[in-house]
């Protein structure tokens, strides 16, 4: 394990030495300094909180703010303040009571009951993509063939993107998340996509249909909480929050189950085990662990350490989810453990709105892939995969598979 020099706030993010485990420093920090200072790439010094109990404690504490436009918010890259202020803030970046009013508008779309009604058509969609894979390969890149299209097509369908526009929508979202896309191309694609979402929201405002955006517009008319810009911001958040995250979990899920053949055999024999396997995958990777960043609004103590008003903090999910106090043998991948108390979806009022949908998509994709392609395996050694070590959302760039 590398040694942490507590006198000199170490650089954050810390590096993973193994693609299947969080940085080794977290273990030492949990034992010796569970609330400690780190230096972000921007040069800003913030608090890193690594233990399961303390992470949950901070994320339910009303004394922290999620306001991403706060000058001390722990962003990993420098964003000019005027650019930050230009982004419509909704849900993820606002605090109660405003947050409660925004969230109330979209909660009905993501309940377990509502999401389960989507099972048949999501299964059909995934089946279609598997058939395309079988026609195109072997070898195919799982990321392009399955991981990216699934969340994009699902949210497309939910938001009422006309079928004729699905291909265009898919091209934009895939280009945005393709690691070979240049920054210029990415910026231009982003503008086109946001422009498209704006038109979609305008159409829903003029003639609301029975889809997510239509129902959101109608519900919003009763309360008048969101203006047009905020409605577009909400559409944008729903698309982006669920796309790269779910896509990376699909890729990591396939690779990890292939790396644990006995556990894969167990879920193959009994697909009803898959929801538990999905929970363990979410815990094991905690791919969006930097999203749970906050700023203290008043002086507050966490685990005996004073965090002053205005100081930033990151309650790091991948630290919490490998805490031996909360999970026995936390570094073992074990689909039978019952990992439901993980914080991979965050905790408290901002806990992931789309978690039931993400769980369903993962369950359907993993079960369908391993059932329809029994010989599915990596086309390259796992050591040759390129993991996203420097990205905000952890994942894999390409996953060549064969069968």
Spatial contact of 292 and 24, defined as CB atoms under 8 Å apart = no
**Minimum distance from CB of 315 to ligand HEM (Å)?**
8
Please report whether residue 352 would count as binding ligand HEM according to CB under 6 A: yes
- Quick one: which of 242, 253, 319, 330 contacts ligand HEM (CB under 6 A)? 242
**Minimum distance from CB of 145 to ligand HEM (Å)?**
19
In angstroms, the CA 16 to CA 66 distance is: 27
- With a CB cutoff of 8 Å and minimum separation 6, the contacts of 240 are none
Q: Where are the alpha helices (DSSP H) in 49-94?
A: 52-59, 81-86
Q: Which is nearer to ligand HEM, 4 or 44 (CB)?
A: 44
Q: Which is nearer to ligand HEM, 28 or 65 (CB)?
A: 65
- With a CB cutoff of 8 Å and minimum separation 6, the contacts of 119 are 360, 364
**Minimum distance from CB of 246 to ligand HEM (Å)?**
5
Please report whether residue 357 would count as binding ligand HEM according to CB under 6 A: yes
Site string for ligand HEM, 142-161 (x = CB under 6 A): -------------x------
**Minimum distance from CB of 220 to ligand HEM (Å)?**
16
Please report whether residue 345 would count as binding ligand HEM according to CB under 6 A: yes
Q: Which is nearer to ligand HEM, 14 or 155 (CB)?
A: 155
Number of CB atoms found within 10 A of residue 162's CB: 10
- With a CB cutoff of 8 Å and minimum separation 6, the contacts of 206 are none
Q: For residues 35-54, which are near ligand HEM according to CB under 6 A? A: none
Phi, psi (degrees; rounded to nearest 5) at 181? -70, 130
Please report whether residue 354 would count as binding ligand HEM according to CB under 6 A: yes
**Minimum distance from CB of 343 to ligand HEM (Å)?**
8
Please report whether residue 350 would count as binding ligand HEM according to CB under 6 A: yes
Spatial contact of 388 and 147, defined as CB atoms under 8 Å apart = no
Please report whether residue 115 would count as binding ligand HEM according to CB under 6 A: no
In angstroms, the CA 314 to CA 45 distance is: 11
**Minimum distance from CB of 41 to ligand HEM (Å)?**
19
Which residue's beta carbon is nearest to the bound ligand HEM? 354
Binding residues with ligand HEM: total (CB under 6 A):
25
Please report whether residue 257 would count as binding ligand HEM according to CB under 6 A: no
Q: Which is nearer to ligand HEM, 130 or 250 (CB)?
A: 250
- With a CB cutoff of 8 Å and minimum separation 6, the contacts of 80 are none
Q: Which residues pair with 36 in a beta bridge?
A: 48
Please report whether residue 103 would count as binding ligand HEM according to CB under 6 A: yes
Please report whether residue 263 would count as binding ligand HEM according to CB under 6 A: no
Please report whether residue 346 would count as binding ligand HEM according to CB under 6 A: yes
Q: Which is nearer to ligand HEM, 4 or 360 (CB)?
A: 360
**Minimum distance from CB of 64 to ligand HEM (Å)?**
10
In angstroms, the CA 259 to CA 240 distance is: 29
Tell me the helix, strand and coil percentages in the chain, rounded to 5.
55, 10, 40
Please report whether residue 291 would count as binding ligand HEM according to CB under 6 A: yes
Q: Which is nearer to ligand HEM, 4 or 241 (CB)?
A: 241
CB burial string 248-271: b at 16+ within 10 A, e below: bbbbbbbbbbbebeebbeebbeee
Q: Number of helices and strands (H, E) in the chain? A: 16, 10
Please report whether residue 89 would count as binding ligand HEM according to CB under 6 A: no
CA trace torsion 157, 163, 166, 167 (10° rounding): 150
Q: Which is nearer to ligand HEM, 74 or 354 (CB)?
A: 354
**Minimum distance from CB of 8 to ligand HEM (Å)?**
28
- Quick one: which of 237, 255, 274, 401 contacts ligand HEM (CB under 6 A)? 237
Number of CB atoms found within 10 A of residue 176's CB: 21
Phi, psi (degrees; rounded to nearest 5) at 235? -60, -40
Residues that bind ligand HEM (CB under 6 A): 66, 91-92, 103, 155, 237-238, 241-242, 245-246, 249, 287-288, 291-292, 344-346, 350, 352-354, 357-358
């Amino acid at each position: 394990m590398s040694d942490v020099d507590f006198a000199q706030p170490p650089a954050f993010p810390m590096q993973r030495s193994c693609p299947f485990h969080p940085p080794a420093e977290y273990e030492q920090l949990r034992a010796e300094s569970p609330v400690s200072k780190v230096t972000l790439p921007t040069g800003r010094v913030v608090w890193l909180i690594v233990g399961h109990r303390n992470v949950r404690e901070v994320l339910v504490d009303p004394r922290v703010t999620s306001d991403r436009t706060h000058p001390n918010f722990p962003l990993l890259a420098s964003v000019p303040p005027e650019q930050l202020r230009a982004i419509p803030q909704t849900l993820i970046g606002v605090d109660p009571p405003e947050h409660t009013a925004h969230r109330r508008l979209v909660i009905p779309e993501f309940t377990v009951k509502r999401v389960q009604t989507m099972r048949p058509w999501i299964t059909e969609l995934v089946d279609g993509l598997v058939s395309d894979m079988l026609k195109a390969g072997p070898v195919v890149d799982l990321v392009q063939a399955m991981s990216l299209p699934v969340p994009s097509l699902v949210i497309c369908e939910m938001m009422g993107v006309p079928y004729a526009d699905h291909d265009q929508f898919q091209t934009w979202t895939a280009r945005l998340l393709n690691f070979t896309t240049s920054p210029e191309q990415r910026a231009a694609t982003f503008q086109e996509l946001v422009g498209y979402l704006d038109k979609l929201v305008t159409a829903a405002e003029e003639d609301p249909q029975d889809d997510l955006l239509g129902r959101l517009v109608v519900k919003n008319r009763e309360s008048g909480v969101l203006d047009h810009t905020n409605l577009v911001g909400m559409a944008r958040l729903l698309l982006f929050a669920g796309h790269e995250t779910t896509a990376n979990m699909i890729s990591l899920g396939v690779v990890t189950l292939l790396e644990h053949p006995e556990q894969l055999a167990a879920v193959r024999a009994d697909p009803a085990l898959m929801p538990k396997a999905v929970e363990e995958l979410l815990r094991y990777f905690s791919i969006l662990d930097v999203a749970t960043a906050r700023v203290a609004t008043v002086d507050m103590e966490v685990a005996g350490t004073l965090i002053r008003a205005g100081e930033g903090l990151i309650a790091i999910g991948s630290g919490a989810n490998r805490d031996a106090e909360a999970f026995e043998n936390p570094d073992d991948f074990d689909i039978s453990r019952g990992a439901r108390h993980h914080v991979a979806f965050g905790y408290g009022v901002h806990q992931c709105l789309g978690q039931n949908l993400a769980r369903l998509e993962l369950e359907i994709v993993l079960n369908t892939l391993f059932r329809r392609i029994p010989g599915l395996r990596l086309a390259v050694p796992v050591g040759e995969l390129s993991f996203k070590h420097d990205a905000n959302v952890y994942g894999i760039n390409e996953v060549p598979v064969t069968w």
